Each structure stands twice: as structure tokens, then as C-alpha cells.
Amino acid sequence: MQVYNKSVLYTFLRCFVVNPVINMSLRRLVVKGKENLPNDGAVIIGCNHTSALLDALAILRAQNRATIFMTRADIFRRPLLFKTFTFLKMLPIFRIRDGYAAVKQNEEIISQCVKVLEHHYPLALFPEATHRPKHSLRSLSKGIFHIALEANKAFGHERPVYIVPMGLEYGDYFRYRATVVATYGEPINVTEFVKQHQETETPARILALLRDELADRMSKLIAYLPDTDDYDAQWELAELCTAQSQPLSPTERLTLNQAAIKRILEKKSSMTAEDTSALYADALAFKKECLLHGIVPSSTGYKRPLLASVGKSVALLCGLPYYLFSVLTMCPSWVLKLLIVGKVKDEAFHNTARFGVDLFLWPLLVLIWGIVACCTFPLVPAIVAIVLLIMAIPFFHDYNAFARHTWSDWQWVLNKHLHPRLSELLKRLKE
């Protein structure tokens, strides 16, 4: 079975099983720049990688069509897993850590990728080669460019080959049902790029130029902050700046974060090393004390924090009956998630584990309780009960997140000694 073969079963599972669970796993997915996806050539998507499998699921949902993904080769080792992942339209790619002999097998993998592109499937890769929950980028690996260049050799004279940069910006890397902004950037026409440089540059240099170009375009699609020793302090300041504007949407939050980061980096260039160190040290000290009280940056931006806290508390009380209903009916899902997450050390994999539990348990629990409802209540109450069951898991996670934010808001109200410290930090940024 070839990965690019059409499959009615795959299409059915993607549309009617996987997509609904992806929708449940993400509180909101905003797709931007879809007009940048070319329709006249082969498409290779290069995306940042921050949240393990959830990144691929977000891309799959944003694409809303069958898409071939490249993933680490070690998960393909057993024959059954190989068949399963091939059916799911995934191809292995070997990394240096797999050994030199293994990496040599990538030549055959690249040939398969070219065939995928010839069959008009989009190919999605994570050029950073590993995930990292940071608003930054690792150095891009060469695999995506080797594939693009080989595809261009094979059929670039007939139709162009494109690398489309993509950025995923999460509202929170570690909370289940976070918001995500998925942005397609301006595509790189690899065919034209090669034509422009092949007479003056070596193949190795062309690859390096492509890598620089893709990294630059990807960085503009996220709240990109260079991964330096000052990263934590700079990101804390950026979040505090953004919180003061109280963004209403994930897109607005991304835009405000980008503007805040630009301002912070510009401010650093105009400050002395001593003043910069003092500002960053104070920012980290402020963050540490906020964490001690359970305060998140978004709580610091309310003009009337007491009114906001009271309003949220009333909303929590109103939603409590449905919350208890969701806890009771979906208890096996919560328990299994806690057990699995407790054994997974890499926090970036936690949402992947939660997705896996929901993929298998959520439909089963809804079916079981739905049958009970139909056998117990008249038609209309039974339908209402089934609708409530379908929404129970997302409501549970949203209620928990809302409760945490409400607690944070109250802590911000009560810890008034932190307010002048915040004002001082923001003032020093504006001076």
C-alpha cells in the first residue's frame, strides 16, 4: 500500500472521527493566509514545531484535506505500526541520532516524497526536526530542501514546486483546548529560486539560501522571540504588555505579542547592559512572585479587576451543575488522562496523550450514556441529554481553565503590592 493511494476508510475517519476530536481538542482554530496556498504546483508545507502530535493535527484540520506528513522513523519499526502509519498517510524520516546508516535510507524516502508530490498531495514537514514549546525557531534541518530540490529536478519543468511557510501560535502550549492561530505565509517558488541562482551559486549554497529564506518567513508568522539567555524575561515582559490591551481574539493576541516583542528588542538596543540586566531581573522576580500566588499575565490587564473577578465567579456558579454532570458522565476519560499524563515526562506530549484518550473514549462514552438516556427519558429530553454528553468533555476543560483564571484574577485583586511593581516595569519599557 502506497501512502498516496486514495482510501475511502481514511477519508471517512478523517472527516467523521478525527476532525471532530481535533475540534474538541482545540478551543478555537483560526486559519489565516490560506490564499497563499498555490494551486498550480507541488506544495510542501514547512511549519514550526511546538506541541508534538497536536501540531500535525492542527495542520490537518487547517488543510481540511488529505495531507502527507513526515515523522520520526523510530515509530515505524514494527510491521504493524508501519502499516498503520502508512495508512494514516505518514512517511518516516531518519535523523542523525538514528545513526549514519539509517540516515542513508532517507534517499529512498525522498524518492517517495517526490512521488507523493507528483500525485498532487501536499507534503507537511517540521523542519526544526523536533518539538520545543517556545516562541522561537531551531536551526532548520536540510530534509525539506532536499525534497523540494529533488522534486524540482523530477518535474519542475512541467509545474513549479513550492515551499509554503506556516506558523502555529498557541494561546498556551500546555493547556488542553488552547487557541491556535495557523498562518500560511508567502510561498517560496523553488523552481524560480533555482533558476535565479543556479548560474552563480553551487547546489549547497542554493540549499543554504533556501533555508535562510524559509526561516525568515516562518519567524514572521509567529510571535517570534530569539532564543537567547534573556528569552524568559523578554517573553514575560511581552505577555504583560499584551495583557494591558486585553486582546479579544487569538489573532489580536498574536499581533500584540509581535508588536510587544519588537518594542522590547528595540528597547534593549537603546539601554545599557546594566539597565537591561536590572530590568530583566525585575521582570523575572515579578513573574516568580506572580506564580507563587497563581497569577497569570492576563489577569494584570483589567481596568476593574474586582468587577471582572466577581463576574467570573458568578459565571462559575452558574456553570457548576453542568460541570458536575460532565465529571460524573465522563469520569473514565478524566481518570485515564491523569494516569497517562502522570507517566509522560515531556510536558509537550501531554495534550497528545489527552487527544488519544478522547479519540477512543469520547465516542464510546457518548454512545453508552446516549443509549441509557434513550432508554430512560422521552425523546426530547433524551436528545437534550445526548447534546449535553457530546459537549461534556470540552466544557470540563474550559470550566477548569476558566476557574484557574478566576482564581488568578482574585489573587491579583488581593495582592495589591504587586500593582505598583507592574506599573514600574511597564514605565521602564516606555521611557
- What average pLDDT score do residues 55-70 get? 93
Q: What pLDDT does 430 receive? A: 85
Of residues 74 and 354, more confidently modeled: 354
Phi, psi for 88 (deg, rounded to 5): -80, 10
Q: Where are the alpha helices (DSSP H) in 119-249?
A: 143-155, 190-197, 203-219, 231-243
pLDDT band at 369, cuts 50/70/90? very high
Structure pTM? Answer: 0.92
User: By three-state DSSP, how is residue 209 classified?
Assistant: helix
Q: What pLDDT does 103 receive? A: 60
50 pairs with which residues across the strands?
none
Q: What pLDDT does 99 receive? A: 58
Q: What pLDDT does 92 receive? A: 78
Tens digit of each residue's pLDDT (9 = 90 or more) over 140-190: 999 899 999 999 999 999 999 999 999 999 999 999 999 999 999 999 999
Tens digit of each residue's pLDDT (9 = 90 or more) over 321-348: 999 999 999 999 999 999 999 898 889 8
**Per-residue cell: 216:** 525568515
CA distance 3 to 68: 8
In the chain, what's the furthest Cα-to-Cα distance? 77
Q: What pLDDT does 71 receive? A: 81
Tens digit of each residue's pLDDT (9 = 90 or more) over 12-27: 999 999 999 999 999 9
Q: What pLDDT does 426 receive? A: 95
pLDDT at 234 over 80: yes
**Per-residue cell: 348:** 509537550
Mention every residue, 6+ apart, whose C-beta is less than 8 A from residue 4: 68, 89, 115, 116, 119, 121
CA distance 44 to 162: 6
From the CB of residue 392, how many other CB atoms can be counted at a distance below 10 Å? 22
Residues in the chain: 431
Kindly report which listed range (93-102, 127-136, 187-196, 198-207) carries the lowest average pLDDT score. Answer: 93-102
Q: Give burial (CB, 10 Å; 0-12/13-18/19+) of 303.
A: exposed
Kindly report which listed range (66-80, 172-186, 314-328, 353-367) carries the lowest average pLDDT score. Answer: 66-80
Tens digit of each residue's pLDDT (9 = 90 or more) over 83-126: 777 888 888 776 656 555 556 667 788 888 999 999 999 999 99
Q: What is the percentage of the chain residues whose pLDDT exceeds 70?
A: 95
pLDDT at 229 over 90: yes
Q: What pLDDT does 353 receive? A: 92
pLDDT band at 52, cuts 50/70/90? confident
- What average pLDDT score do residues 359-387 get? 95
What is the average pLDDT value for the chain, to the nearest integer?
92
- What average pLDDT score do residues 216-235 get? 97
From the CB of residue 301, how many other CB atoms can be counted at a distance below 10 Å? 19
pLDDT at 377 over 90: yes
- 109, amino acid identity: I
- What average pLDDT score do residues 123-139 get? 93
Kindly report which listed range (48-62, 82-96, 307-321, 385-399) carries the lowest average pLDDT score. Answer: 82-96
CA distance 116 to 140: 22
Q: What pLDDT does 37 receive? A: 96
pLDDT at 405 over 80: yes
pLDDT band at 72, cuts 50/70/90? confident
Q: What pLDDT does 285 receive? A: 97
Strands 28-32 and 179-184: what pairing? parallel
- What average pLDDT score do residues 39-61 get? 94
**Per-residue cell: 149:** 530540490
- What average pLDDT score do residues 225-237 get? 96
